[in-house]
Amino acid sequence: MRTESITERLDAVVAILEKHRQGHLTNGLDSVGTTEVESFIEQVESIDFDEIETLTSSDGSAGGIPEDLEPAPVIPRHPKGEASFRSAGEALIRQGEIAAFTVAGGQGTRLGWNGPKGTFPATPITGKPLFRVFAEQLNAIDERYGIETPWYLMTSPLNDAATRAFFRDNNHFGRNPESMLLFPQGVMPAVDDHGRILLEAPGVIAVSPDGHGGSLRALARSGALEHATSRGVKHLSYFQVDNPTVHAIDPLFIGLHATHPTSSGEMSSKMVPKVAAGEKVGVFCSIGGRTQVIEYSDLPTEQAGATTEDGSLRFIAGSIAIHVLAVDFIKRITSAGSETAMPFHHARKKVPFWDPKSGETVTPADPNGTKFEMFVFDALEFVEKGLVYETDRVEEFAPIKNAEGGDSAESSGRLQTERAARWMEAAGSEIARNDDGTVHGQIEVTSETALTGTDLVGQSCPDFAPGSDLVF
Ligand code: UTP
């Protein structure tokens, strides 16, 4: 219990701010109440000012591309020994060694949805929210393997309460709340072009979530890693909240990660072949024999466009943010004193700020500040042998990022329908298609019916009437 008075704490905080040339943060503080002052003090106390100074004294650039950059080796979609790797993965699932881990702490600014992204209606016909899509997959996995899959779900301080309320209001979509652990990620202050931390309102520092890479330290800080260990969980199946077609728990991928000779079992990743040189996805590369992701903006045009003898892109392995990470690996790279701290990337953004002159909060028209984010794939740098496995874009990459256009609910819905149609066709159904090859109508297959196309084989699928909506 604290013994200092609020005045003493405030004095200490002011001294810290002065020392780090952030004294302006007390502007307007005399106009707010005691509760607000207390929360301001807590905000300041939680900031690592040395870290901020280090970050603002660099431009955040990646520091050039190394000369020994090579494409990362990729395990093909149907690898040799596929059945035995799948069985190995299934054994781990059955033994309760695998948990699901969803990162849902982002702000979803591009989508512009009023609420956590996971509450967004994602399926093309019934509009199931993203959280429900994953919950139903996990329910089906549990049923199949006779287990109760732990589900770790990272929120942020900005959407934690709303996310919890959503799950509560929906009876956790049939999940046992005891098997779910929600925890907020860390935040970082935003700074202006002079390295001065921005105020959102008097006594309120402008902060934003510290990136999906912040998920690793949030797992450690929240006690989730200990929780996992105490339950015998050894690996986390990591996916992002905005991809409704992800296979939340994929036995083959897990088996490859844990037992393939080219994997150290620390962190493995899925890739899809890039469709064009300029596609805006990170690319799996190998640097000094280690797998790494190079952001599309950092990959020089010459390398991005380079082709192999058969004309395909040399750097073709696009990152789709699906990984499996070992719990022990996350513990190692997040332990106190660890020298494996992940870097922060700098993102120029429009950050609403409070202007002491006008006393108003200003929403800028152009980027006015920098936010700091960690990226989860940067953890690959600390992996001895990072395995990259190829998957199919239609099969498991239909992200919802934007309100319209590419990577929107509409494009994702089309991909979900296309996947369902392919599953049905492989199981012997007739699917009406338009002249351009797209499905004439919409289809939704629930996780209860099938988790993959293989599950439909041998089942009698309902008829699909051209132009109709089919849910089964
Ligand atoms: P994005 O990079 O697409 O960001 O996140 P976003 O916040 O969802 O959307 P924009 O950029 O503001 O429009 C990819 C995934 O990483 C999670 C998101 O929730 C999403 O699942 N994420 C991102 C976090 O969990 N925390 C973060 O700090 C950032």
Distance CA 134, CA 172 (A): 11
User: For the chain, what is the mean pLDDT?
Assistant: 95
105 in ligand 1 pocket by Cβ < 6 Å? yes
Q: Is 110 in the pocket of ligand 1 (CB under 6 A)?
A: yes
Distance CA 182, CA 66 (A): 39
pLDDT digits (tens, 9 = 90+) for 167-207: 999 999 999 999 999 999 999 999 999 999 999 999 999 99
Give me the pLDDT at residue 2, please: 62
Residue located nearest, by CA, to atom 16 of ligand 1: 212
Cα-based distances in Å from 108 to 117, 373, 377, 384: 6, 14, 20, 33
The domain covering 70-401 belongs, at the CATH homologous superfamily level, to: Spore Coat Polysaccharide Biosynthesis Protein SpsA; Chain A (3.90.550.10)
Q: Whose CA is nearest to atom 2 of ligand 1?
A: 106
Residue 100 has pLDDT above 80, yes or no: yes
Distance in angstroms (rounded) separating the CA atoms of residues 74 and 276:
18
Measured by CA distance, the residue closest to atom 15 of ligand 1 is 240
Alpha carbons 71 and 313: distance in angstroms, whole number: 10
* The pLDDT of residue 336: 75
- Residue 205's contacts (CB-CB under 8 Å, 6 or more residues apart) are 25, 40, 43, 44, 47, 189, 197, 198, 199
Which residues, in sequence order, are CB contacts of 463 under 8 Å at separation 6+? 429, 430
Residue-wise pLDDT tens digits, 326-362? 999 999 999 976 666 899 999 999 999 999 899 999 9
408 lines ligand 1 (CB under 6 A): no
pLDDT at 287 over 80: yes
Q: What percent of the chain has pLDDT over 70?
A: 98
pLDDT tens by residue, 3-45? 678 899 999 999 999 999 999 999 999 999 999 999 999 999 9
Q: What is the mean pLDDT of residues 383-404?
A: 97
Q: What is the pLDDT of residues 143-152, one digit of tens each?
A: 999 999 999 9
Query: How far is Cα 259 from Cα 256, in angstroms, rounded to an integer?
Result: 5
Contact 267, 383 (CB under 8 A): yes
Whether the predicted pLDDT of 393 surpasses 80: yes
The best mutation among 188, 240, 297 to test binding of ligand 1, ranked by most ligand atoms within 8 Å of the C-beta, falls on 240
Q: Assess whether pLDDT exceeds 90 at residue 67.
A: no
